[in-house]
A and B are shown apart, each in its own frame.
Chain A
Amino acid sequence: MAVAERYQSIEEQRRWEGSFDQLRGLVSERAITGETMLLNMGPHHPSTHGVLRLLLELDGEQIITCLPDIGFLHTGIEKSIEDKSYEKALPLTDRMDYLSPMSNNMVYASAVEKLLALDVPERAQIIRVICLELARCASHLVWLGTHAIDMGAMSVLLYAFRERERILGMFEMLSGQRMMSSYIRPGGVWRDVPADFLPTIKQFLADFPAKVDDYEALLTRNPIWKDRAQGVGVIEPDIALAHGMTGPALRGSGVNWDLRKAQPYSGYETYEFNVPLGEHGDVYDRYLIRIQEFRESMKILNQAVARLERVQGPYRSENRKYCPPLRSELGQSMEAVIHHFKLWTYGYDAPDDEIYCAIESPRGEIGCYIHGTGANKPRRVHFKTPSFMHISALPVVSKGYLLADMVAIIGSVDIVLGDCDR
């Protein structure tokens, strides 16, 4: 059918074609005259890791302008939290960065703890570190698999997901849920580790380093991989800082900044590990850093597991105004029943003041700003997420590279759209 026959009139055709008016000032004048090409990438492009739409202005294959369009996965989590008591808002945070829900739980829980000045027992801190590092591995494994598939290495995904499955199995053991775990709660963790958890994680720690070697054997010295990754998507350190990039994207540029070292939380200052740094700030360096972070996470996990066997005690704060009593106490103690009832119906009051708390998630600094009301619901909760900052920096990072490199760049800064849109 001819184009003209498809529309009732010229006006209707114009309406569907849209106009350039709203793009004026955002793309160059050459795009308006048709000299350069405007190309939509996404929101259903497999390499955009979710629903990200990029409007690219191309001169031949070279990217001149990149306009990210986000919001497809916006679910109003921050608004929903305003209607929930502090503890009941926790499951919502799982849904933000769905590749490492434990980090989201952790940042929200530590923000609430900071607001309430609530203590966390040592055993709970150790369990938290184990969860966070496992989550880091699981998240990096998904990144490795999808990043490799984007660049044409098909088989890595299967190997990476095989190991991720084992980590998710351990999360299920801890929390009853593979992904949306809601395990780290304000004051500690939901429950103590089950008896068969320690043997399982020890077996995993024994197997995993060899698997990381396997991934490296597939990619690190692979000439095609090096050709696609080296010298592509170079981020200068000052550009990374100015655009608020954090995590492996910042460390790939050689900036030594890891919140686990700089502003330790949950006892990270007592573990021995290194912070891998890049030199060139390209896609290949960011790949190497994440591979090395697997090994550093293994170091932390080995120390934490040894410590978990030694340290006994409560897995959640004993402050009964904020943390519910043990199930076993409910049969004997009237106080416990009162606390239980109060906490699960009303919750607890938090001061009418504001705090900001940040931790190092697998993607970078994830921050949580809470402003209380003095009652049991927050006035405002805002999550500063690494994916949001990284996508906002994409136009600068991708400028001048080829369209095929765009796929590599998106993969290497590791974005999750649920994390970005919240």
Chain B
Amino acid sequence: MQIPAARDPVSALRETFGADILHVKEFRGETTIVVSVWRLPEALDFLRISAGLVYNMLSDVSAVDYYPDDYGAAFDGGARDFRPQRFAVSYHILSLLYNRRLRVKAFADGEDPRLPTATMVWPAADWLEREIADMMGIVFEGHPDQRRLLMPEDWFGHPHRRDYPLGKETVAFSFNEAEIRKHKPFARD
């Protein structure tokens, strides 16, 4: 069987999606493509099935929170990166055929973060997106199972957000042990 020659993913996407490819970045040999939210599943599906691209495996989905001020107008795509909104979700996709990786990124609003799900493109996105919904509080619209994954179902808040405080415990010494025990929530309560 003849394997079609590899195509450049950036120019192929630009050709098909035009102005919906918002930004392209190269860092340490990794290409990042920022896509408009509403065409994200379409772009991922295009990358998966098109001849010459065939990104047939989803390696990872990871989210990042640019809180408090590392996003907005100052990050317009110049030297300081492109970050229009608070949350970003990156799909790391891998082509086994052409042995290369690509990062497709989409941004979500800080007030009501919503993204379309990619579970129809890759079943592997199911749990990876559920983890992000749980830990970052980003809603994946159309996801088949929207329960929490890692945290208990009655948990309040989303721990991986940057405004979620990192809990710390005071070290108990003999001088403060009684005080700590008084306030610590033990299982007996």
Chain B minimum-CB-distance residue to A384: B60
Q: Is A114 an interface residue (CB 8 A)?
A: yes
What is the bound-complex CA distance between A241 and B145, given in angstroms? 21
Contact B62 A76 (CB under 8 A): no
When the two chains form the complex, which single residue of B59, B70, B149 contacts A244, counting CB atoms closer than 8 Å?
B59
B residues 54-112 touching A (CB-CB < 8 Å): 56-60, 62-66, 70, 81, 90, 92, 96, 99, 101, 103
The residues of B that contact A389 with a CB separation of less than 8 Å are 124, 127
Contact A380 B65 (CB under 8 A): yes
What is the bound-complex CA distance between A373 and B162, given in angstroms? 12
Contact B166 A82 (CB under 8 A): yes
Q: Is A229 an interface residue (CB 8 A)?
A: no
Contact B59 A365 (CB under 8 A): yes
Q: Is B185 an interface residue (CB 8 A)?
A: no
Contact B152 A71 (CB under 8 A): yes
What is the bound-complex CA distance between A367 and B61, given in angstroms? 11
B103, chain A: closest CB distance, angstroms: 7
Q: Is A178 an interface residue (CB 8 A)?
A: no
Q: Is A388 an interface residue (CB 8 A)?
A: yes
When the two chains form the complex, which single residue of B59, B81, B126 contacts A367, counting CB atoms closer than 8 Å?
B59
What is the bound-complex CA distance between A291 and B116, given in angstroms? 43
Contact A78 B160 (CB under 8 A): yes
Contact B123 A243 (CB under 8 A): yes
Contact A241 B56 (CB under 8 A): yes
The residues of B that contact A358 with a CB separation of less than 8 Å are 59
Q: Is B30 an interface residue (CB 8 A)?
A: yes
Contact A369 B30 (CB under 8 A): no
Chain B minimum-CB-distance residue to A261: B99
What is the bound-complex CA distance between A79 and B150, given in angstroms? 13
Q: Is B28 an interface residue (CB 8 A)?
A: yes
The residues of A that contact B123 with a CB separation of less than 8 Å are 242-243, 396
Contact A382 B145 (CB under 8 A): no
Chain B minimum-CB-distance residue to A78: B160
The residues of A that contact B65 with a CB separation of less than 8 Å are 379-380
Query: Which segment of A48-56, A88-96, A349-357 sits at the interface?
Result: A349-357
What is the bound-complex CA distance between A421 and B159, given in angstroms? 14
B37, chain A: closest CB distance, angstroms: 19
- Using A243-B123, A380-B160 as known contacts, say yes or no to A354 and B32 having CB atoms under 8 A apart: yes
When the two chains form the complex, which single residue of B28, B62, B148 contacts A382, counting CB atoms closer than 8 Å?
B62
B142, chain A: closest CB distance, angstroms: 14
Contact B90 A243 (CB under 8 A): no
Chain B minimum-CB-distance residue to A358: B59
B182, chain A: closest CB distance, angstroms: 26
A residues 334-382 touching B (CB-CB < 8 Å): 352-356, 358, 365, 367, 369, 371, 373, 379-380, 382
Chain B minimum-CB-distance residue to A421: B150
B40, chain A: closest CB distance, angstroms: 18
Q: Which 9 A-B pairs have the closest CB atoms?
A: A244-B124, A384-B60, A392-B127, A382-B62, A71-B150, A369-B62, A380-B64, A74-B150, A371-B64
Contacts A79-B166, A82-B162, A115-B28 aside, 20 further interface pairs with beta carbons under 8 A come to A70-B149, A76-B159, A79-B159, A241-B56, A243-B124, A244-B57, A244-B128, A263-B99, A352-B70, A354-B64, A355-B27, A356-B90, A367-B59, A367-B60, A379-B162, A380-B62, A384-B59, A384-B60, A384-B62, A389-B127
Residue contacts A-B, CB under 8 angstroms, 16 given: A70-B149, A71-B148, A74-B151, A80-B166, A115-B28, A241-B96, A242-B123, A244-B124, A255-B96, A354-B64, A354-B103, A356-B62, A380-B63, A382-B62, A384-B59, A384-B92
